[in-house]
A and B are shown apart, each in its own frame.
Chain A
Amino acid sequence: MSNPEESKLKENCSNQRECLEMLQLILDGEATPEQKANFKSHVDECMPCYQHYHFDQAIKELLKVKCSHEAPTELIASIKSKISAIK
């Protein structure tokens, strides 16, 4: 790893299963502020969790950016006109 600070990190997480569950809650905005603070301090010293966190965050962002299609404009117009016709 090029980042010198990363050499201080633990190479193995003793609590990985709970950490992965917590990571999901954090990324999905479902964690309490206390859970967030605990996780943050853990990630600062645990290499696997640090990697998981950044990796999962990157996927989440990538999904949001790359997987959205806009509705075709003619479809929007067609729905609007059908609704007007109902009334």
Chain B
Amino acid sequence: MNKLSCFSVQTFALLRGWDFYHRGAKDQVQIIVPRKSYLVYFLLLLPNMEEEEVPRNSYSDKQKQDIFDNEFMPHINAMYNFAYRLTLDRDDAKDLLQDTYLKAFRFINSFQQGTNAKAWLFRILKNSFINDYRKKTKEPNKVDYQEVESYYNSEDVDRQITPDLRVESLKDMIGDEISNALNALDVDFRTVIILCDLEGFKYEEMAKILDIPIGTVRSRLHRARNLLKEKLSEYAKQMGYNKST
């Protein structure tokens, strides 16, 4: 917990008239301990809360368990894969997945039954990744969105498939190549390919998960695929080289 969020929780709570009790000897620095710690925990999460996390329902314990088991758990493999592809680290992926599912359960009242649980979960995971993991990853965010948009409108779009890369050479790839090529992309480009090609989300769902306009989804996908092809083309060249020696 950082100082600022601690301060804002206290201020917010005090402004609202919520009562905290003070513990500690008179001469010591007083430590403020909230009487209702769950309330404070909830407030701590407020800055990160999005539209999806505002409670709309009050499910019974049984309903919560049913939703969790039948609507959230079936997506656990896809969610794990997303976590792994974002963090590129199995331990981080485990932590991220666990945090996300615990958060999903905590905010289950803001999930509307009958809506797309997978998109809701993916959005929480993506936000958790940005808030908790992205800061500590070595990879800086290098995407220049202006550049992305202009790329899409440039004549570069017209370029041909590189001669080294054909459907036949793709079929020779055993799987590691494409996985490595995907992992080598900047996280924002990687993300759109995962959401679209691996998970089959529609552009509109992707726009909601990523909080970006649909036009940006399209242009980012286009750019991501071109970059992926460049990577694959490098592998294809290497394979050709290896074959001839």
Asked if chains A and B come from one complex, the reply is yes
Question: Given A30-B202, A72-B94, A83-B102, A62–B222 Cβ distance below 8 Å?
Answer: no
Query: Is A8 part of the contact surface with B, judged by Cβ < 8 Å?
Result: no
Number of interface residues of B (CB under 8 A): 50
Instruction: Give the residues from 1 to 27 in chain A that come closer than 8 angstroms, CB to CB, to chain B.
Output: 16-17, 20-21, 24
The secondary structure that dominates the B interface is helix
Bound CA–CA A5/B78 (angstroms): 41
Question: Given A30-B202, A48-B160, A70–B77 Cβ distance below 8 Å?
Answer: yes
Instruction: Give the residues from 23 to 41 in chain A that come closer than 8 angstroms, CB to CB, to chain B.
Output: 24, 28-30
CB-CB under 8 A from B171, the residues of chain A are 58
Number of interface residues of A (CB under 8 A): 37
CB-CB under 8 A from B158, the residues of chain A are 16-17, 20
CB-CB under 8 A from A44, the residues of chain B are none
Q: CB < 8 Å: which of B165, B178, B218 contacts A24?
A: B218
Question: Given A48-B160, A59-B225, A83-B68, A75–B80 Cβ distance below 8 Å?
Answer: yes
Q: CB < 8 Å: which of A56, A63, A87 contacts B61?
A: A87
**Could you tell me if B157 and A59 are in contact, using CB atoms closer than 8 angstroms?**
no
Task: Name B's A-contacting residues (CB within 8 A).
Answer: 61, 64-65, 68, 73, 76-81, 84-85, 94, 97-98, 101-102, 105-106, 155, 157-158, 160-161, 165-167, 170-171, 173, 175, 178-179, 182, 193-194, 196-198, 200, 202-203, 218, 221-222, 225, 228-229, 232
Which 5 pairs from chain A and chain B are nearest by CB?
A: A71-B80, A66-B175, A63-B197, A70-B77, A58-B167
A-B contact pairs, 8 of them (CB 8 A): A24-B222, A55-B170, A59-B178, A64-B197, A66-B178, A68-B198, A76-B76, A82-B98
